């Protein structure tokens, strides 16, 4: 199996492979300091202009960009950027190949100005980009002695972004052999774990007087599934079009399922030493995190994983203490569990030290997992041979445990329902402008339409659009564009006085206001006040064709709800009036009535 060389390092965006023959010396990891351009998509030809762009610094790869300090502060996961690496060699093979695993979370790769790979859809905002994980192998015929690698990347969906996984360079034969060998290993491990899991579930179905085989079976299958969707992401061989959002949620579900089942498995092995309060705490925290995974965005639930793992890290220490107590009291399963646990921990420590490049022994966590499950299977089988003598006692204990667990779950469910209600409230506010969002607008206009229909009172709708906002963004940048949106939103919000009047962000640079019990003349006055308030902000806009300051075009529509009309017709009418305002030169108010 070809080896990967770590001796050649990238320094200041350049790796010198002079004297290194990819055909005879093997694969090279492209680890080290790449050029980094934050919040910029740099085209390859721009680097060869008279005044090429300068990097914001050098960032270590493989590693998320989150730790990179930009303007004195570390980045968060959301954003877009350009990576650049120059590979210099005195002799390239006729064809070189790159092995690229999952990167976070969409990118386009160029080599010497030619697009060679595209995963997902890059963009400068969450709405523009499409996230995707897809390991790929890229072959390229280099010309000359330099390969200029440019990667444009964006991430607004995961809490960590960037080139977080290794990229290797070599000949096509060795790269594919190395890749296929890794894939075969992951398939072997995943298949073995799933088969062991199915065996224990079958054993439990025949003899269900103890739940240990069941929990070990679920744990083994869960780890087998996780092996397919992590590492070399072998799942893509079976489901090539799996959606990114679904894949990430399944990946994180394997974490919470694995921890929950591991806790329950150990509890069933060492009930007499395991504190039930500790069990309930771990299951409660895991339950809460499971709800977060179900109902929150991927960006949010991936951002709090570390806190969840810290809590469970404390539990691992407690689990070790329980295991030691079980050994002292000569529990028949204790030594087998301890040996398996040590093997698993050593494999994880080994992988961590390899990732930190302290040692170069290779990665063995997958083998450690398989060894852990295998030892547990042998230990459990030995234990079950003598378990028939205690079947009645165990059934009694499990009945009591189940009743208390159901009571606990009932309490937790009520708490989670309250937490879910609070989370739903958070979903109706626009994160940038801190005014109601489109979802809240849709709910509110339908509610008010039904109310006004009963009392036969009019409703007016105001639609606003910032004039030439794209030019504003292009000229001043997206950060200043966000500041502009915030100021406009607050000015519009302050323009309405009644509690029943709602100002919301309709989408992009569009805003809207629902004005119940308001005829056209009243709505026109409010709209004109909105327009003047925006003008009074005096936000410079040198690219506007209608004003030196930021201005808005406003469309106003009015209808009286009845059986023969709908709220959607009012929205359509307001949209027409907004377009009329734009056609009339912008920075004005146009009113239409549907009655």
Q: How many CB atoms lie within 10 A of CB 42?
A: 19
> Residue 551 in 3-state DSSP?
coil
Judge whether 252 and 286 are in contact, CB under 8 Å: no
> Residue 90 in 3-state DSSP?
coil
- Residue among 4, 35, 174, 509 flagged as catalytic: 509
548 is catalytic: no
Judge whether 462 and 574 are in contact, CB under 8 Å: yes
Judge whether 16 and 86 are in contact, CB under 8 Å: no
C-alpha span between 133 and 251 (Å, rounded)? 12
Nearest-10 Cα torsion for 292, 295, 297, 303 = 0
C-alpha span between 554 and 574 (Å, rounded)? 9
Cα R_g (the chain), whole angstroms? 30
Judge whether 110 and 149 are in contact, CB under 8 Å: yes
> Residue 378 in 3-state DSSP?
helix
Helix, strand, coil percentages for the chain (3-state, nearest 5): 50, 20, 30
Could you give phi then psi for residue 395, rounded to 5 degrees? -65, -40
| Longest Cα separation, the chain | 90
Q: How many CB atoms lie within 10 A of CB 505?
A: 25
The closest alpha carbon to 39, from 191, 154, 121, belongs to 154
Judge whether 52 and 148 are in contact, CB under 8 Å: no
Judge whether 148 and 47 are in contact, CB under 8 Å: yes
What is the three-state SS of 426-480? Answer: HCCECCCCCCECHHHHHHHHHHHHHHHHHHCCCEEEEEEEECCHHHHHHHHCHHH
Tokens of 250: 């399944």
Burial label for 542, CB within 10 Å (0-12, 13-18, 19+), is exposed
- For 118-133, the DSSP string reads EESB--SSTTT-B---
DSSP-derived secondary structure letter, 66: G
C-alpha span between 268 and 208 (Å, rounded)? 13
Tokens of 20: 């290194």
Q: How many CB atoms lie within 10 A of CB 453?
A: 16
Rounded to whole angstroms, what are the CA distances from 335 to 214, 260, 330, 561? 21, 22, 9, 75
CA torsion sign for 409, 410, 412, 416 is: positive
Q: Are strands 69-70 and 589-593 parallel, antiparallel or unpaired?
A: unpaired
Residues marked as catalytic: 509
């Amino acid at each position: 199996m070809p080896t990967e060389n770590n001796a050649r390092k990238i320094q200041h965006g350049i790796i010198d492979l002079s004297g290194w023959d990819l055909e005879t010396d093997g694969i090279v990891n492209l680890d080290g300091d790449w050029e980094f351009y934050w919040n910029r998509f740099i085209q390859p030809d721009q680097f060869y202009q008279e005044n090429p762009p300068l990097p914001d610094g050098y960032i270590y790869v493989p590693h998320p960009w989150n730790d990179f300090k930009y303007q004195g502060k570390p980045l968060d996961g959301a954003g877009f950027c350009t990576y650049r690496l120059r590979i210099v060699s005195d002799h390239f093979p006729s064809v070189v190949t790159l092995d690229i695993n999952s990167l976070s979370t969409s990118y386009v790769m160029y080599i010497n100005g030619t697009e060679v790979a595209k995963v997902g859809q890059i963009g400068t905002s969450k709405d523009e980009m499409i996230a995707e994980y897809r390991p790929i192998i890229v072959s390229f015929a280099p010309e000359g002695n330099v390969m200029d690698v440019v990667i444009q990347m964006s991430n607004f969906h995961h809490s960590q972004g960037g080139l977080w996984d290794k990229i290797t360079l070599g000949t096509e034969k060795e790269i594919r052999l190395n890749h296929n060998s890794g894939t075969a290993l992951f398939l072997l491990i995943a298949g073995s774990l799933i088969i062991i899991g199915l065996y224990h579930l079958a054993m439990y179905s025949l003899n269900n007087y103890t739940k240990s085989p069941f929990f070990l079976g679920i744990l083994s299958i869960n780890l087998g599934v996780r092996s397919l969707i992590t590492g070399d992401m072998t799942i893509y061989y079976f489901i090539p079009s799996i959606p990114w959002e679904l894949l990430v949620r399944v990946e994180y579900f394997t974490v919470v399922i694995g921890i929950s089942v591991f806790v329950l498995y150990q509890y069933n092995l060492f009930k007499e030493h395991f504190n039930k309060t500790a069990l309930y705490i771990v299951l409660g925290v895991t339950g809460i995190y499971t709800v977060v995974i179900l109902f929150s965005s991927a960006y949010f639930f991936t951002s709090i994983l570390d806190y969840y793992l810290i809590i469970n890290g404390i539990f691992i220490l407690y689990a070790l203490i329980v295991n030691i107590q079980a050994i002292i009291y000569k529990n028949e399963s204790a030594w087998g569990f301890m040996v398996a646990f040590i093997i698993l921990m050593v494999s994880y420590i080994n992988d961590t030290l390899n990732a930190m490049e302290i040692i170069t022994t290779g990665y063995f966590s997958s083998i450690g997992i398989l060894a852990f499950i295998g030892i547990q299977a042998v230990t459990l089988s030995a234990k079950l041979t003598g378990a028939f003598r205690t079947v009645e006692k165990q059934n009694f204990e499990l009945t009591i445990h189940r009743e208390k667990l159901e009571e606990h779950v009932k309490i937790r469910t009520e708490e989670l329902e309250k937490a879910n209600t609070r989370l739903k409230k958070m979903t109706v506010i626009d994160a940038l402008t801190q005014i109601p969002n489109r979802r809240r607008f849709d709910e509110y206009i339908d509610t008010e339409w039904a109310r006004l229909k009963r009392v036969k009172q009019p409703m007016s709708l105001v639609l606003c659009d910032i004039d030439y906002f794209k030019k504003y963004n292009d000229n001043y940048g997206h950060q200043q564009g966000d500041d502009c949106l915030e100021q406009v939103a607050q000015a519009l919000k302050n323009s309405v006085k009644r509690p029943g009047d709602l100002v919301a962000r309709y989408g992009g640079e569009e805003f809207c206001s629902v004005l119940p019990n308001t005829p056209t003349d009243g709505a026109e006055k409010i709209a004109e006040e909105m327009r003047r308030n925006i003008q009074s902000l005096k936000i410079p806009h040198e690219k506007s064709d209608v004003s030196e300051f930021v201005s808005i075009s406003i469309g106003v529509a009015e209808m009286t709800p009845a059986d023969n009309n709908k709220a959607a017709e009012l929205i359509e009418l307001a949209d027409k009036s907004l377009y009329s305002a734009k056609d009339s030169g912008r920075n004005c108010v146009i009113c239409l009535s549907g009655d």
